[in-house]
Amino acid sequence: MTTIETKEQVLEKIMSQNKPACPNCGAEMNIWEVPSINCGDGLGWGTPYLYICFNDECPLYVKGWENIKDNYSHSASYRCMNYPGTEQFELITVFSPVGATGQIIDDQVVAQQEVLKESIKKGFSILAECYVSKDSPSVMRIILDPTEPARVRLKAAEMIGDIGETDAIEPLRNLKFESRIIQEKVEESVSKIHEKFFTRECPFCAEIIKKRANTCKHCGKEVAGK
């Protein structure tokens, strides 16, 4: 089964790596956040972050202005781009000296990432205590709290399937999560709770009933075989 990484996990992994040097000038490349709107062939880069050389004295960048002007009659140049964790270097077109600089991951972003890491560490510690004490209400609060880091909420969504009871199903069903990954994990946990307690939801009134019930005790409808 393929594990889908959150954007935070990808950035954390990249930040733990040594930044590559630009093969054209030797300067350390910057972490660059890929914009949400793709350009080029529209297929995107397949990663939320890349490395880009923003050295304005890089020969590739300096000569690129003249090359594009002579060959395409446009005012633009190239910067060197690298896919994190690979030796794959490519070119990205920029149309001004400040082009693409808005997505550079600077020291402030790095500091924010460190704060996020501490929040994740604290959240996982709380969840570990909740698991031991079977404290499902606290786990539910974490799932429902949008200020919690996505990784912590995802872990909580998984954990509620192990320690949650049927009273957790209704609040989970009534919420739609912005994160598709968290939403899918919540759905898995709801199914797990039903399986654990031999229950299901009435197809007519959505109330929880026994899995083998023939008639819903809440709405009186026949549910056998449904």
Could you tell me if residue 134 is inside a domain?
A: yes
Tokens of 89: 């270097």
pLDDT at 159: 97
| 84 and 165 together in one domain | no
Does one domain contain both 69 and 43?
yes
Residues 13 and 60 grouped into a single domain:
yes
Q: How far apart are CA 44 and CA 159, in angstroms?
A: 34
**Beta strands in the chain, from DSSP E residues, in sequence order:** 30-33, 49-52, 77-82, 89-94, 199-201, 208-210
pLDDT recorded at residue 38? 54
User: Is residue 221 a part of any domain in this protein?
Assistant: no
Tens digit of each residue's pLDDT (9 = 90 or more) over 46-93 = 889 999 999 999 999 999 999 999 999 999 999 999 999 999 999 999
Whether residue 97 lies inside any domain: the answer is yes
Q: Count the Cβ atoms, other than its own, within 10 Å of residue 83.
A: 16
* Tokens (6 digits) for 77: 């140049």
Same domain, yes or no: 84 and 127: no
Q: Is residue 215 part of a domain?
A: no
Closest to 163 measured CA to CA, from 184, 180, 142: 142
**What pLDDT score was predicted for residue 44?**
66
Residues (pLDDT < 50) of the chain are 40-43
| Domain count across the chain | 2
Range of the domain at 136: 118-210
Report if residue 192 sits inside a domain: yes
* Residues 37 and 123 reside in one and the same domain: no
Interior angle at CA 184, CA 114 and CA 177, nearest 5? 65
CATH of residue 145's domain is 1.25.10.10
